[in-house]
Amino acid sequence: MFEYSGAMGTNRRYSDRADRNMALRAAEAAARPRPLGLTPLELDLSNNPVTEGSEAIPVQAWVTWQTQPVLTKAIALQWTPRAVQLEFKDSSGATYRTWVWASAVDRL
């Protein structure tokens, strides 16, 4: 009877290269700047109830990154009287969710 000793999904021929590529992608993702969203203290959800949108609302918002603020097209998912949770993609295609001040957001 045939027995297969390799794990499913492994690439025995190029395993070293695949491992290096995966490690490189992980390192790049860790080094990539992240948006600086609001902290739990700033959100104060115990005093500012969250409203869930029944559908995503297209918006334009200022999102602060580690280096600078960027005007970004996004969708609003949730909001409080003071803040909005956004979902957006950066130029590399990575998807982010972050909270920003409501005054930084305009509907499109």
What angle is formed at CA 43 by the lines to CA 46 and CA 50, rounded to 5 degrees? 60
- Residue 101: what pLDDT? 98
Q: How many helical (H) and strand (E) elements, i.e. helices and strands, does the chain have?
A: 2, 5
Rg of the chain over CA atoms, in angstroms?
20
The DSSP bridge partners found for residue 87 are 75, 97
Question: Which pair of structure tokens corresponds to residue 100?
Answer: 């920003």
14's torsion region: left (phi>0), alpha (psi -120 to 50) or beta? alpha
- Residue 100: what pLDDT? 98
> In the CATH scheme, what is the code of domain 40-107?
2.30.30
The predicted model scores a pTM of 0.71
| 105 vs 18, higher pLDDT | 105
- Residue 7: what pLDDT? 55
| 31 vs 73, higher pLDDT | 73
pLDDT tens-digit map of 40-84: 999 999 999 999 999 989 999 999 998 899 999 999 999 999 999
